[in-house]
Amino acid sequence: MKISDTIKSNSVAIIGMSKNAGKTTVLNTIIGEQAHRVLGITSIGRDGESIDVATGTKKPAIYVNSGTIIATAKDLLSVCDITKEILDTTGILTPLGEVIITKAMSSGNIQIAGPSTVEGMQTVCEQLIEYGVELILIDGAINRKSFSVPSLCKEVILCSGASLDNSMHKVVNETFYTAKLLTLKQSHEFEFALNHPSESKYVIFLDCGVSETDSLLAYANCISKTKHRNGIKALQINGAITDSVISPIIENGLRNIGIIGLDSSKFLLSSQSFDNLCALGCTLQPKHEMELIALTVNPYSATGASFNQQKFMEELSKKILPLNIPIFDVQEGTHVF
Amino acid sequence: MFFNHKESESIGLEYIKNSLSCRTPYGRALIRALKPNNNKHIAELIDELDNITLAIDLLKNQADNVSKLENFFSQIRDIKRSIESIPENVLDSVALFEIKRFLLLLQHIVSSVERLNVQFIRIVIPPCIDALNLINPDKSNAASFHISDVYSKKLSTIRKHKHEIEASILSAKTEQVIEQLKIERLKIVEAEFDEELKIRQYLSEELAEHKEEILLAIHSIGRLDFILQKARLAILHNAVKPVIASDDVLEFDSMRNPYFNSILKAKKRNFVPISIALQPGTTVITGANMGGKSMAIKTLALNVSLAMCGFFVFADKAILPIIEHICLIAQDYESVSSGLSSFGGEILKLKHELKHINAHSLMLFDEFAKGTNPEEGAQIVRALVKFLNTQKAFSVIATHYNGATIHAKKHYRVAGLKAFFDKGFEGNSDNGLEVIASNMDYGLYEAPTNSDCPTEAKYISRFLLQGEEVLEYILNETD
């Protein structure tokens, strides 16, 4: 089975859990497998290696075929060695210049820095489709603090590897946890909260009504007020859901409530907090659901301490089993379901 | 010479500027760079006003065609900097793309203007066909741009070679072969880049030959965009074309100020149109304190400056000469940091402005010397009136000090509350301020030059302080 067989829709985000997780290799593999289709390539913002990339030293470049349409920052065009046809400007600005839509008139290596906002990404994806792109590949960055996946792209491929941590055990656990967050689904019983439009940061759904506030303190106070504790049905958090946001829930022992967030990219809580929530019967509900279609592994670490490839695959597939997601090692060409 | 931001805001000029929505970056630049014409450019000023007349006619009779033109305007991006940078700078592919896009749009704009069947005065939009052909060598008029093989046989060869190597990489069997081919490819990539650079240099130099032409097209589009906006503004406010004469007459009939009008409307009141006729020398405006004098001065500043910038004015009729310099002393110039009192600031500004005073100056003073003791203040204002009478400039001084009008060439008075107080007091003093404000007559009326300021303060006190103990004391002092 090829990794691109898991792709069902017309756009997929490829997120690396750390640098050197093998994301670019995955991208190049998919590009090779989908050579018969018109591909569009862009990225969400830029991860931390911009300086290195601009000088073209460390990172492997993405290799595209003729006919591919890319959306990248103006300053990176000169390091793209494809023969370029400029199709359009987007008016979307990034630290590396305006995002330009370019068609590859030859094969070649490209460097991508796309829009860093959801609106910008929406615009770019629409334009790519207009120019005839059949499959959009979005290079997504992730660091240990947050994901950067747009709400509009449903399908996600998560790339993990030995570069994340020296301990295989830690890598397996963290990958499992991230995958779990990505696969969270909505449940109907919280539809009332999922569909409630609000501009406030914290929305508390009580038996007697709805309370909204932008202050973390006010939100925490509301939860801890005795008369409210049993009457909270759900929470809507419009912003990052961190441990500080979760701790009032755990401290006050709220049970069986739904916590609505925009999408998995906002679920920044630690796995400990997540487990505590589960123990209370509470669930995280993403407004925009993601579809984790595949996991990839790179047993090689940039720092040298690599994992045993077979053992890594075995450990991860055992842990991931309940999520039922295929795991690929694109370098070796092997996979596990 | 022209207003600073604070002054511009206070007279309503910023309000007018903000209400203009030019479609092109060039039109918007003209709004930001708004400055008055002077004597050397009187012909240009008259042309601009005549063009507005033509534009008004177009907006009324060919609204659809104008809409189509403005649609093209909205698609224009700013290429001015790229054009100005050649031939010293070598344009990159994105800049060339933007220039091509502009030149293609230019063709649509030129034919759109032709369809309007109107001869704008001294506005020429050259179609720059030669420049377009330069970067559109296959005449495809495609919206995209690439450095085409057409420009260089060598480039064509390099690219063929590149394509062959890439096919080889695809069908290569071993890593070693692939690596070798990749190294070879890198050399070809460098050659392609070098050749593309040569072509870009060539294109930049050739386009530079058409620089003047393109900049003229840009400038004319900006002007046309601006003229259409000025015409819209004129229709909206029933503005009138000012007559630019060379006589010593500066006259406005029923002059209005859209900025003050919008403020007053929000308070459910109306701005009363002001009629004023000035001659060289000093005109004095008197009237009790409630803003009427200030509004008159600022409305005059607004309309005269708009006329000088080539706008229709908000009046039923306007005749004025070229005014090169407007002096507006109407703020609080107190500055703790420079150790300046209000009065000190005013005097300093006056000194500065007097350096530029000539027959084409409009000197406007709103309550000059109000920040000093009334006796000295009145003396200084009297002195200023006399001095400005010896100058050829048009001067208007609004003051509540006595004794200024007798030396003035002309005297206007804000009607104020006279009518209200003559009727007797109505309404209670609880909503006193409301009552007073709604009964204020802001209109300007000519008054004899030997008449003094109305004593409204006493009446206002009587009205607002009904039943208060302090009122007795005030009445004792004033009677």
User: What is the per-residue pLDDT for A145?
Assistant: 39
Domains and CATH numbers, chain B: 5-228 (1.10.1420), 240-478 (3.40.50.300)
Contacts of B146 in chain A (CB under 8 A): 83-86, 105
Higher pLDDT, B82 or B444: B82
Q: What is the mean pLDDT of residues B407-430?
A: 76
- Return the pLDDT at A146: 45
CA distance A88 to chain B (A): 7
pLDDT at residue B17 greater than cutoff 50: yes
Tokens describing residue B419: 């009518």
Instruction: List the beta strands (DSSP E) in A121-227.
Output: 135-140, 155-161, 202-206, 209-213
pLDDT in tens, B144-172: 999 999 999 999 999 999 999 988 988 88
| Model confidence at A181: pLDDT above 60 | yes
| Site from A86, A99, A105, A331 to mutate, B interface, most B CB atoms within 10 angstroms | A86
Percent of chain B with pLDDT over 90: 62
Contacts of B193 in chain A (CB under 8 A): 81
Give one DSSP letter per residue of A223-242, joined into a string: HHSHHHHTTEEEEEE-S-B-
Q: Is the pLDDT of residue A48 over 50?
A: no
CA B335, CA B341: separation in Å to the nearest integer?
6
pLDDT band at A52 (very low <50, low <70, confident <90, very high): very low
Contact status of A77 with chain B (Cβ, < 8 Å): yes
State whether CATH 3.40.50 applies to domain A3-184+289-336: yes
* DSSP 8-state secondary structure symbol assigned to residue B91: P
- In this prediction, residues A98-111 reach a mean pLDDT of 94
More confident residue, B324 or B371: B324
Quickly list DSSP for B126-158.
---HHHHHHH-TT----S-EE--GGG-HHHHHH
- Delimit the CATH 3.40.50 region(s) of chain A: 3-184+289-336
Average pLDDT over residues A56-70: 79
pLDDT at position A143: 54
What is the reported pLDDT for B1? 52
Q: Does B2 lie at the interface with A, CB-CB under 8 angstroms?
A: no
How crowded is residue B405: how many other Cβ atoms within 10 Å of its Cβ?
27
pLDDT at A227: 60
For chain A, where do the domains classified as CATH 3.40.140.80 start and end?
A: 188-286
Instruction: Answer yes or no: is pLDDT of B334 > 50.
Output: yes
The torsion region of residue A209 among left (phi > 0), alpha (psi -120 to 50) and beta comes to left
Cα–Cα nearest to A45, from A153, A151, A155, A140: A140
A83 interaction partners in chain B (CB closer than 8 Å): 146, 159, 162, 192
pLDDT > 90 fraction of chain A, expressed in percent and rounded: 39
* SS3 sequence of B310-349: CCCECCCEEEECCCCEEEEECCCCCECCCCECHHHHHHHH
pLDDT above 80: residue B422: no
Q: Is the pLDDT of residue A57 over 60?
A: no
Average pLDDT over all residues of chain B: 89
Question: Considering the domain A188-286 in this protein, what is its CATH number?
Answer: 3.40.140.80
The mean pLDDT value of chain A amounts to 85
Average pLDDT over residues A243-256: 90
Interface of A with B in 183-222 (CB under 8 A): none
Q: How far, in Å, CA of B463 to CA of B345, rounded?
A: 35
pLDDT at B227 over 50: yes
Q: Picking from A47-51, A326-330, B392-396, which range would have the lowest pLDDT averaged per residue?
A: A47-51
Q: Per the structure block, which two tokens stand in for A236?
A: 């809507």
| Min Cα separation B116/chain A (Å) | 30
Q: Tell me the mean pLDDT in the region B78-106.
A: 95
On the question of pLDDT at A55 being above 50, the answer is no
Residues 183-212 of B with CB under 8 A from A: 186, 189, 192-193
